[in-house]
A = this chain, B = another copy of it.
Amino acid sequence: MAEARETGAESGGAPPRWLTSDELRAWQKFIAVVELLPGVLDSQLQHDSELTHFEYYTLAILSEAPDRTLRMTALAARTNSTLPRLSHVASRLEKRGYLERRPCAEDRRATNASLTAEGWQKVRTTAPGHVATVLAHVITPLSPEDISDLDRIMGRMLGRLDPENTFRASNE
């Protein structure tokens, strides 16, 4: 990114503008967090529970749903995922006994995913360590004002990253 300042003047297909120095500084910190955070979340979960963050998040979202069941399409949206990616992960979780997939009773073309009793237990035992990691690395260093600012800023980004609000994070 940063090289944009140097190359911009010489470049052919110029974008509307380059980043200002304030924007560049914020962007570099932000992209560092985006690179580093998934590794921190995955490491703790893998080490303590043999789950990736995406696997844990999938089980956690199901644990909150009515009857701990969601259509696969809805579960993909709630986990910020595509259906192919979710299907791949659901297969792995199914093999481990945490999740079951069945045709939806109201619409046989649709598939439901349900948390098993074992999956529910897995979420319960995994949650404390994961929440402690999120608190330590993300939440605790922030003031209440930071939390409110983070919510506003991420909501604005999601307005562009997910303009149709497919992933339903924007207005929850």
Contact = CB atoms under 8 A, between A and B. Distances in A.
Interface of A: 1-4, 6-8, 10-19, 22-23, 25-38, 40, 57, 60-61, 63-64, 79-81, 123-125, 127-132, 134-142, 144, 146-162, 167, 169-170, 172
A3 B60 contact: yes
Nearest to A143: B156
A11 to B, nearest CB: 5
B170 A128 contact: no
A54 to B, nearest CB: 8
Instruction: Please provide the 6 A-B residue pairs with the shortest distance between their CB atoms, ordered closest to farther.
Output: A32-B169, A15-B132, A29-B154, A26-B151, A35-B80, A3-B63
Contact of A15 (B13, B128, B138): B128
